[in-house]
Chain A
């Protein structure tokens, strides 16, 4: 089935540094990738939608200069958290719609646990 590989699964970084999270669709072409953030015991929050070859669409309240999204190919989308701060510590998940499925299914990456110290 459709698989999205997300790396790294866990990362600890110092305040002020940048962290890049990658999501690759392994056996299908992901024209659209969704990036979510999840705080403990909270709902998934959509941060942005990225389409291959174009600029990402950010949700209200999400700083596009801080969360840089690049979707340069049909199989790779990246999220870079720039100048990270402790409040950016969270669980980040990417998701892609599965093409050709009747149920408009989505497949998720395994998530990245970011801790900023």
Chain B
């Protein structure tokens, strides 16, 4: 079956760095997405990786290793507004998105 695993919850301190991991097993691979979702709101797009390596976008970076079925989202200089759920999603061979359950990130002052 298809499976996306990510931690349920993480806690970090304002100003610090946090890494949210995602491992996947899917039928084919056509890219991996990271989304941010605040409570009660729709997800917003953060990043897309289809090739191995690190993609940096401001305070957020996303890494992909296709051979390991592994990705991480790195958040630097954490701000209180970064408190949200972070969803990992993989596009399979049928171009269908398979979603992880999300990681709730709690930022403490």
Interface size on B, residues (CB 8 A): 23
Is B99 on the interface with A (CB-CB < 8 A)?
A: yes
Contact with B along A84-117 (1 / 0, CB 8 A): 0000000101000000000111111111010000
Task: Assess the A107–B41 pair: CB atoms within 8 A.
Answer: no
Chain A residues in 8 Å Cβ range of B4: 43
Using known A-B contacts A43-B100, A46-B96, A113-B40, determine if residue A105 contacts B87 with beta carbons closer than 8 Å. no
Q: Are A110 and B42 in contact (CB under 8 A)?
A: yes
Residues of A within 8 A of B41 (CB): 110-111
Interface string of B96-109 (1 = CB under 8 A from A): 11011110100000
A103 to B95, CA, bound (A): 12
**Which residues between 1 and 31 of chain B lie within 8 Å of chain A, taking CB atoms?**
4, 30-31
A2 to B87, CA, bound (A): 21
Which residue on chain B has the smallest CB distance to residue A103?
B48
User: When each residue 43-85 of chain A gets 1 if its CB lies under 8 Å from chain B and 0 otherwise, what string results?
Assistant: 1111000000000000000000000000000000000000000
Q: Can you list 6 A-B pairs, Cβ within 8 angstroms, ordered by A?
A: A41-B101, A43-B101, A44-B87, A44-B99, A46-B96, A104-B95
